[in-house]
Amino acid sequence: MAWLTTLTKLSFGCVEEEKSPIAVLGVPLDHTATYRPGSRFAPLKIRDVACNIELYSLLAGLSLEDIGFKDYGDIVLQPGDVEGALKRIGLVLSKILEEHQGLLLVLGGEHLLTYSSIKTYSHVIDTVIVFDAHLDLRDEYLGSRLNHATFLRRVVEETSSRVIHIGSRAYSKGELEFAKKVGIEVYNILDVIAGKVHFDDLGRVYVSIDIDVFDPSIAPGTGNPEPYGLYLREFFPLLKSIFEEASKVYAVDIVEVNPIVDHGDVTSILAAKIAVEAAGLYISEKR
């Protein structure tokens, strides 16, 4: 595809396998950052650190060394053109959906990319599961209706998938009212800690993971960090449960990693580890 770059391509985990059931796509969207821009550098950085961690899924109990990854590289996006970038993301994802029948790992990039992703996948998914410190349900933010703080509002308005939101702890009054009005299943951080999150009848699933859902002590490299976040002992059992309860997980995106403000690449390493575990869980459930 002409809109994908291979000039700086580094295959995820440094194990390229054309026939792998696990595909990877970088989406360096960074057009609407309002606090700390830099997420456009995340796809390449996450690939880089993935080459320096073990490709073993502890949750699935299997190695991905022989399975590898089909890495499409990064989408080339037009600077300053939000709507044009979203259209291009949708077109590329449509092509990948046509030719790849396995799991797609999307490396962001800001969370607005998920709006385009879910619209593209809306005809094949039943449930959207979002891990995020923020609800991102504002009708508009700073005069814009298409940005990282409004993406889920647009998703709910334009698609019919069930939406489950996990790990939130930062809201506006209007967002809470809208979530209740349209029936979004919101499990805040206190619900997670109390063990109240359970999955049933998920069907076909799209998972979106904003890295700011984690506590800044373990994921400092993000654009809008929020204290009192999720920890890994809470997150990974939930991720495993999603794969166990879904009839199929079509895609997992990992967004809002910002290498510029990270410390020792720990946030990028976490993102790579999540991708490895998601891939392992997909392979395990498929078998």
**For residues 134 and 178, what is the distance between their CA atoms, to the nearest angstrom?**
14
Query: pLDDT, tens digit, for every residue of 231-266?
Result: 999 999 999 999 999 999 999 999 999 999 999 999
Q: What is the mean pLDDT of residues 29-49?
A: 91
b/e burial code for range 265-283 (CB count within 10 A of at least 16 → b):
bebbbbbbbbbbbbbbbbb
Question: Going by CATH, does the domain composed of 4-286 fall within 3.40.50.300?
Answer: no
pLDDT band at residue 142 using 50, 70 and 90 as cut-offs: confident
Please determine, for residue 3, whether its predicted confidence score (pLDDT) is greater than 80.
no
pLDDT recorded at residue 73: 94
Share of the chain above pLDDT 70, in %: 97
Please determine, for residue 14, whether its predicted confidence score (pLDDT) is greater than 70.
yes
**For residues 220 and 226, what is the distance between their CA atoms, to the nearest angstrom?**
9
* Residue spans per domain, the chain: 4-286
pLDDT band at residue 7 using 50, 70 and 90 as cut-offs: very low
Q: Which of 233, 287, 275, 224 is nearest to 251 (CA)?
A: 275
Please name the residues in contact with 160: beta carbons below 8 A apart, sequence gap of 6 or more: 122
pLDDT band at residue 33 using 50, 70 and 90 as cut-offs: confident
Share of the chain above pLDDT 90, in %: 88
Task: Note the pTM of the prediction, 2 decimals.
Answer: 0.95
pLDDT recorded at residue 2: 60
pLDDT band at residue 201 using 50, 70 and 90 as cut-offs: very high
Query: pLDDT, tens digit, for every residue of 114-134?
Result: 999 999 999 999 999 999 999
Query: pLDDT, tens digit, for every residue of 54-111?
Result: 999 999 999 999 999 999 999 999 888 999 999 999 999 999 999 999 999 999 999 9
Please provide the average confidence, as pLDDT, over all residues in the chain.
Answer: 94
C-alpha gyration radius of the chain: 17
**For residues 229 and 252, what is the distance between their CA atoms, to the nearest angstrom?**
20
pLDDT band at residue 10 using 50, 70 and 90 as cut-offs: confident
